[in-house]
Structure 1
Amino acid sequence: MNKVDERLEWLHTHSRASASHRRGEYVSLPAGCGFGGGKLCPSNYANTPHNARLIQQVLDDPSVQRVARFVDNGLAMFFPALHRFLSNLLDKILADNPDIRRMFEGCCYGACHFNLHNAATRQHEDFFNVLFSMCAVYASGQYDHTRAGHFVAWSLGLVTQFPPGTVIFIPSAPVTHSNIPIAAHERRSSIAFFMSSGLGRWYQNGYMSDKDFKAQASSKQLQAWKDQRSRLWEVGLELLQC
């Protein structure tokens, strides 16, 4: 746990990035792959050349790799069907596009955010993530978890302590959530693992965007596509069964 904390603090010290965005006032750096936001096809998330080199060193760190496998094993234990779904989706995406680099070996998540040093999020939903997927958040740092750093799931009416070295699984797309800020002399980082919903749409469309699929689909195919989208919540409920 200390090695992960040290590596994330190192990333915070040496990276060059804005500390203000819609989730809060802290540095957050993406890694892994996704689709959406103007991309023409799935690809690795973009970082500056300077930050990209640092992020790759973090991804290659054995202690961080162990966290990724720990998260993967946790999802497989509590949500085995969802774990199989995410693993299969990531494998299909990577096989279709060899230019995409796998973020972590032995981990079903396609991407993560490194939230650094004083990470306390505002109330938000991660609406670009797979709607029914459980995102995983690993907490790191040195803070009094009984007084600060709590995880708040606003739309579920839940507040829980979130000690360093622990993981929370949360459906981050539909559930409004945030963190209680830490004290000024403390530090808190996290690694938030997720799967982009755009990757699921790309795969279900036969490796193309919604726009391209609808442009070439017959009326019968388009109706089947709409029917399938309207039943996604049923698919999600099945995958979340233990």
Structure 2
Amino acid sequence: MGGGQQFPTAFFHNVLNTIVLVGLLTQKPFQRIAGFTNSMFQIYAPDLYTYYSTMLDKLHGWNKNLKRNFLPTMSVFAAATFNFGLQTITFPHLDFANLAWGWCAITALGNFNPDKGGHLILWDLKLIIRFPPGCTILIPSVLIQHSNTSIQAHEKRFSFTQYIAVGIFHFVDNDFCSDISTKASPMTEEERAAWVEDM
């Protein structure tokens, strides 16, 4: 949710892209990655996991027509991105559209020598992490600037990421209204101060 949307909705994709995406999301390898990531999240950050799960359940209770990428027991992430550029490389960046204290999942895929490239760099922590194909990591992507190194010319690297936009949390917290609508609604000074603090 973002870009001026007034309520959460699925991204619009043309027919061909929709067929491809549905096909990918129903493939066992991606379902297994999602399930594994979900389990890691639940084990290492149980309170945050419960928060994600509760918010997503509330959202889907509000609009039962919203489709999940995976079964609720398989993933608490509302969104996923497939990066299939032949050599998926990212510049140092922060994912400001995500929940500030939240985590996102990054999975490296492809066929490359992880000793010679494809390393994950967590700039603020001054860490360079060997990140072979098939590895998954959960990071607070709004707080830690991250990127990955290039690979050799003949190799391929892809990625699969899972996350939730902060706008979804705001929408649910605002009793299923956008920040714009909530801000425009009548509030006492105390209510407005409490709302701003919660955001």
TM-score normalized with structure 1 length: 0.78
Q: Which residue of 2 aligns with 1:226?
A: 196
- Is 1:64 aligned to 2:30, yes or no? yes
Where does structure 2 lack aligned partners over 5 or more consecutive residues?
none
What is the Cα deviation at residue 176 of structure 1? 1.0
Q: Give the aligned residue type for 1:57.
A: G
Equivalent AA in structure 1 for residue 192 of structure 2: L
Secondary structure at 1:191 match in 2 = strand
Give the number of equivalent residue pairs.
195
For residues 43 and 62 of structure 1, the distance between their equivalents in structure 2, rounded to whole angstroms, comes to: 25
Give the superposition deviation at 1:184: 1.5
Structure 1 moving runs of 4+ over 6 Å: none
Pick from 79, 84, 91 the counterpart of residue 45 of structure 2. 79
Task: Name the CA distance, whole Å, in 2 between partners of 1:134 and 1:205.
Answer: 22
Aligned to 1:43, what secondary structure does the other structure show?
A: coil
Following TM superposition, by how much is the alpha carbon of 1:94 offset from its aligned partner in structure 2, in angstroms?
Answer: 1.4
Q: Which amino acid aligns with 1:96?
A: W
Q: How much has 1:46 moved relative to structure 2?
A: 2.2
Shift of 1:173: 1.1
State the distance in 1 between where 2:9 and 2:53 align: 17
1:139-158 alignment, distance < 5 Å: 139-158=108-127
Report the AA paired with residue 76 of structure 2. Answer: C
Distance 1:194 1:207 in 2: 20
The one-letter amino acid paired with 2:49 is H
Percent of pairs with identical residues: 31
Structure-2 separation of matches of 1:132 and 1:227: 15
CA deviation string 1:53-96 (max 9, x = no partner): 10000001122111100000011111111111111111111111
Aligned counterparts, 1:10-49, within 5 A: 35-49=1-15
Is 1:175 the counterpart of 2:141? The answer is no
Equivalent of residue 80 in structure 2, options 65, 88, 112: 112
For residue 99 of structure 2, what is the aligned residue in structure 1?
130
3-state secondary structure, aligned to 1:112 = strand
Q: Which runs of 5+ in 1 are unaligned?
A: 1-34, 230-242
Root-mean-square deviation (CA, aligned residues, Å) is 1.1
Equivalent position amino acid for 1:226 in 2:
V
- State the one-letter code of the partner of 1:53: I
